[in-house]
Amino acid sequence: MLSIISGIATIFKPVIAYMGTSIIGIAASAKSYTAASYLLAKPLMGYALVRCSWITGIAVVEWYSGRMYAINCIGEGFHGFYNHIWNLASPACTGLLISHVSLIGALLSSFIITTLFFIYSGFNKIKQNKISEDILKEYYELKSLVSK
């Protein structure tokens, strides 16, 4: 009986040792990937925080001005619509409407500019990468061979 147990122990000893080293390897590679991801994301986090707070701030102010315009100048139902026609030219309602519309324009332009900037810088980063240059060279070589 003792020989069976010792035989089983000799079979499973390398398996246990391998599992221990693979767990250490997995932990070390996870740490390396986490550090690399942090270094990649660190410069973008500050920019993203500033842009998100700017766009969120404009959106909140724009929404609030639209809400103030709706509450104070338009009203509810047909009676509110009828009174809105006569209140439209009041300085308060005109100011609220102009601020609401101009802030919508600022919000949309900020969002569009941010999106276009990310697309533009992404394409430039891809173009400047050595690997993508090699891929493009190989593509053009294959294209020239096929077109002959």
Ordered DSSP codes for 61-120: HHHHHHHHHIIIII-SHHHHHHHHHHHTTSHHHHHHHHHHHHHHHHHHHHHHHHHHHHHH
Domain count, the chain: 1
Mean pLDDT for the stretch of residues 69-91:
77
Confidence of residue 62 (pLDDT cuts 50, 70, 90): confident
Percent of the chain with pLDDT over 70: 83
Determine, yes or no, domain membership for 133.
Answer: yes
Q: Please give the average per-residue pLDDT across 86-114, as a whole number.
A: 83
**Contact by Cβ (8 Å): 63, 104:** no
- Does residue 34 belong to any structural domain of this protein? no
Write the DSSP symbol of residue 3.
Answer: H
Residue 95: inside a domain: yes
pLDDT of residue 41: 79
- Any domain includes 118: yes
Give yes or no for residue 47 having a pLDDT over 60: yes
- Domain presence at residue 101: yes
| Domain of residue 86, residue span | 43-147
Proportion of the chain above pLDDT 90, given as a percent: 1
Q: Stretch 113-137: mean pLDDT, rounded?
A: 82
**Whole-prediction pTM:** 0.51
Residue at 37 is within a domain? no
Residue 31 lies in a domain: no
pLDDT score of 6: 59
28, part of any domain:
no
What's the rounded mean pLDDT across residues 111-137?
83
